[in-house]
Amino acid sequence: MKIIRRSVSGTLESSDIMFQLESSQDGKNHIELDSSVEKQFGDSIRSTINQTLSNFNITNADVSAVDKGALECIIVARLKAAIYHSVSEEDRENKAFKS
């Protein structure tokens, strides 16, 4: 799938994560993470983001995230929502969203 527009999802509340997603200039994925639990979970969060992007076959995402201690299921949900709003109508039918 291709990121075709910018989208935002999530909030800055405790236990949530806010994503800003847009298409990257160089056709590669980039992640910028500001997390309140960087030391303990920073690597794990980046890995989750990469895995999710890979599940959707996305290679042109500029991901910017502000995390306030969201659990993994919330990170996946917020990212999926951002992706959903960044791709075409057709791509939204993809099974990966419901898996």
Partner 1 sequence: MNKIKNFEAFNPDNIENKIESYITHRIENNKIVGSLEEAIKKSGLKDGMTISFHHHFRNGDHIINNVLKTLDRMGYKDLYLASSSLNVCHEPLIEYIKSGVITQIDTSGLRGPLADAISHGIMENPVIFRSHGGRAAAIESGELKIDVAFLGAPSCDPLGNANGYSRDDERANDVICGSLGYAKIDAEFAKKTIILTNHIVSYPNIPFGIPESQVDYIVEVSDIGDPGGIMSGATRFTTNPKELLIALSASKVITNSGLFRDGFSIQFGSGGASLAVAQFLRQPMIDRNYRARFALGGISGSIVDLHEEGLIEKLLDVQSFDLKAANSLKNNRFHQQISSTYYASPMNLGAAVNQLDIVVLSALEVDVNFNVNVLTGADGIIRGAIGGHQDTAAGARLAIVVVPLLRGRIPCVVEKVNTVVTPGKCVDVLVTDYGIAVNPARKKIIKTMKENHIKLIDIKELQNIAITMTGKPKAIEYKEKVVGVVTYRDGSKIDEIHQVVD
Partner 2 sequence: MTKLRRTMLFVPGNNTSMVVNAGIYPVDSLMFDLEDSVSLDQKDNVRFVLHEALKTINYQNKELIVRINSLSNGMGQTDLDYLIPLGKVAIRLPKTDSSQDIIDCESYIEKIEKRCGMKVGTTKMMAAIESANGVLNAYSIAHASKRLIGIALGAEDLVTDLHTRRSPGGLELSFARSMILMAARSAGISAIDTVFSDLNDMEGFRSEVEMIKQLGFDGKSIINPRQIETIVEIFSPTEKEIIAALEIVDVMKEAAKMGKGVVSLHGKMVDKPIIERAKRVLETAKVTGQLARIEDEYYE
Interface residue list for partner 1 (CB under 8 A): 14-15, 36-37, 39-44, 68-72
Backbone angles phi and psi of 5, in degrees to 5:
-150, 165
Task: Out of 53, 65, 78, 87, name the contact with partner 2 by CB under 8 A.
Answer: 78
65 binds partner 2 (CB under 8 A): no
Question: For residue 97, what are the CA distances in angstroms to 29, 59, 67, 80?
Answer: 19, 17, 22, 7
Q: Looking at beta carbons only, is 14 or 99 nearer to partner 1? A: 14
Task: Give residue 67's Cα distance to chain centre.
Answer: 11
Task: Out of 4, 12, 37, 71, name the contact with partner 2 by CB under 8 A.
Answer: 71
- Coil, helix or strand for 72? helix
| Residue 36 binding: pick among partner 2, partner 1, none (C-beta 5-8 Å cut-off by kind) | partner 1
Query: How far is the C-alpha of 79 from the C-alpha of 9, rounded, in Å?
Result: 7
The contact pattern for partner 2, residues 8-47, with x = CB under 8 A and - = no contact, is -xxx-xxxx-------------------------------
